[in-house]
A and B are shown apart, each in its own frame.
Chain A
C-alpha cells in the first residue's frame, strides 16, 4: 500500500483528467472564469498582507468583487449542468439571465463601496 503511493496518485490524476475532458465546453469556460476570479482574490489578500489593511473598504470591495463573481459563476455552473437533475426544469437562458442580473447588482454595490 505504502510503496504504490506514487503510482496511485498518478493514476488518480490521469483518471481525473480524462473524466474532466468529457466535460462540456461551456462548463469548462465557467471553470476558467472561476479560477481567474479566485486567483485575483488571492493576489489581493497577499497584497494586503504586505502593505497593511489601510483602505480597508477598498480591500473588502476588491476581494468581495472577486469572491462574489466566483460564487455567482459556480451557481451558474450548477444550474446549466445537464447532469444535474435538480434544475432540469430551469432553462439555461434563464440561468444566465439571473447570473447577469446578480453580477450587475454586485458590481453596483462594489463600485459604491470601493471609495
Chain B
C-alpha cells in the first residue's frame, strides 16, 4: 500500500515535468533560461520577470559565467527559450557559446537579446548572425535632441522616446499603445540582405548614434530612421528572435517612469514600456500568431469520401482548418486572405478560401481540363504569423473511353453527312458497275 502511494506521488511529481515540454500541440515555450551579468537584475527587472512567471513560464535565472551552463542534455533541450540579459559577457560559462546559441535557434527555439552600451563582441556577434548589426563603435549610444524624454537631470538626451511602432496587431496586441516607449541604449541597423528581420520600433528622424560625452568629429554612421531600437526575426523554422539595444527598456525604473516627450504637451503617468515589452514578449514566446493547419480534406461535390484521383473537369470541394494558439488553447483563426492553389509546376487554380468564422476554410472549384499529377497547396505567409506551407498530392486523369459524351444533338448533321457519304458510295458503286 505504501509502495503504491509512493509510486503515485512520484507520478504526480513527474507528470507536470512531462507535460511541460515543448510540443506542436502546445507551442508556448514553458522553460526559459535567463542569463544575467549580475543578480541585481532579478530585482531591477522584477516586473518583467514576474509578468512572465504569471503567464506560466518557468524562469531559470543564471549568471552568464555560470560554469554549469548548458542548453541541452543528452541531445534534449532543457529550455524552450533563451533570454540574454548579459550584455557585457565575453564568454559564457559551461558549454554555451555562439554556435550553441545559433543551434538552439536553428532547432526552433526563441531568443531575446537585450544589450546596453557595454555590449561585448560575443553578444554583438550573436545579433549579427540574426541579421542585426549593432554600431561597431563601443562608445556610442542613441542620442536624440528632437524626441528625448523630459526629465529632471536633463542633459545629454540619451533617454529618448519613440512611438514609431510596426503596424501589426499580432505582434503588439490589439490594444493600441498610447504612451511612447522610453529607450536608453545603443543603436542597431538591419542587415539589408536578411529578408526575415523587421524593425518593430524605429528611432525618430532626428536620432543619431554617437558618443554623447565627446564632440562629434565626423558625421555619425547611423542616423535617423535607419536606426532600429527594437527588431524581431521570425526564422523559416518559426523560431522568433527579438533584439534590442536597451536592457534598461525592460527595467522597473522605465516601466514605472512617467513620460513626456520634449516639446509635446502630453504627459503620461506611465511609459508604454510595460505594455510594449509584455505584448512583444507574448509574440516572441508564441502566445500569439502561431498557426496550425489541420484536417486537409477534399472530395467531389456531393460526395464525402476522399477519392484516389480526380478526372478532368470534376467539381471538387477543398477544406482545411486553421487555428491560432492563444497561449492556452487553439482558437479559430479568422482571415479572408488564405488561398489554395491547385498546382502542377505552376498554379492552375488559385482561389481564396472562405471561412465559417470557426476555423474551417473552404473552397470549391473545377479541376482544370489538364491531366497530370497535381498538388493542393496552401502557402500562407503573413507578417507576424507563423507560416503555413502544406501540400497534398493528387493525380488527375483524362476521360475514360466510355466517359465521353455521345449522340450530341449539335453533331447530328455531321453524323448525317458521314452516313450519307457511305450511302452515296454504295449507290455510286452500284451505278458505276452496272451502267451500260
A interface, CB within 8 angstroms of B: 25-26, 29-30, 33, 36-37, 40-41, 43-44, 47, 51-52, 54-55, 58-59, 61-63, 65-66, 69, 73, 96, 100, 103, 107, 110-111, 114-115
Closest to B428 in A: A33
Chain B's closest residue to A103 (CB) is B425
Residue of chain A at shortest CB distance from B420: A40
Contact of A62 among B404, B418, B425 (CB under 8 A): B418
Contact A114 B415 (CB under 8 A): yes
Given A29-B428, A29-B432, A100-B429, verify A66-B411 contact (CB < 8 Å): no
Q: Determine whether the beta carbon of A115 is less than 8 Å from that of B411.
A: yes
Residue contact B411 to A58, C-beta cutoff 8 Å: yes
Between A and B, 21 residue pairs with Cβ closer than 8 Å are: A29-B432, A33-B428, A43-B417, A44-B413, A44-B414, A47-B413, A51-B410, A54-B408, A54-B410, A58-B408, A59-B414, A62-B414, A62-B415, A63-B414, A66-B417, A69-B425, A107-B418, A107-B422, A114-B414, A115-B404, A115-B408
Q: Flag whether B308 is at the interface (Cβ < 8 A).
A: no
Say whether B406 faces chain A, with CB atoms less than 8 Å apart.
yes
Cα distance, A62 to B413, chains bound together (Å): 8
Cβ contacts under 8 Å, A25 to chain B:
435
Report which residue of B404, B405, B410, B431 has the largest number of chain A beta carbons within 10 angstroms of its beta carbon: B410
- Cβ–Cβ < 8 Å partners of B429 in chain A: 100
Contact across chains for B417 and A36 when beta carbons are under 8 A apart: no
B interface residues, Cβ below 8 angstroms from A: 404-406, 408, 410-411, 413-415, 417-418, 420-422, 424-425, 428-429, 431-433, 435
A29 and B420 CA atoms in complex are apart in Å by 17
Question: Is B414 a contact of A58 with CB atoms below 8 Å?
Answer: yes
Interfacial chain A residues near B418, Cβ < 8 Å: 61-62, 65, 107, 110-111, 114
**Contact between chains at A26 and B435 (CB < 8 Å):** yes
Q: Are A115 and B406 in contact (CB under 8 A)?
A: yes
Given the known interface contacts A33-B424, A37-B424, A58-B411, the answer about A65 and B417 at a Cβ–Cβ threshold of 8 Å is: yes
What is the minimal beta-carbon distance from A78 to any residue of chain B, in angstroms? 15
Residues of B within 8 A of A33 (CB): 424, 428
Residues of A with C-beta under 8 A to B433:
96
- Does B431 lie within 8 Å of A29, measured CB to CB? yes
CA distance A29 to B414 in the complex (A): 25
Residue in B420, B429, B431, B432 whose Cβ sees the most chain A Cβ within 10 Å: B432
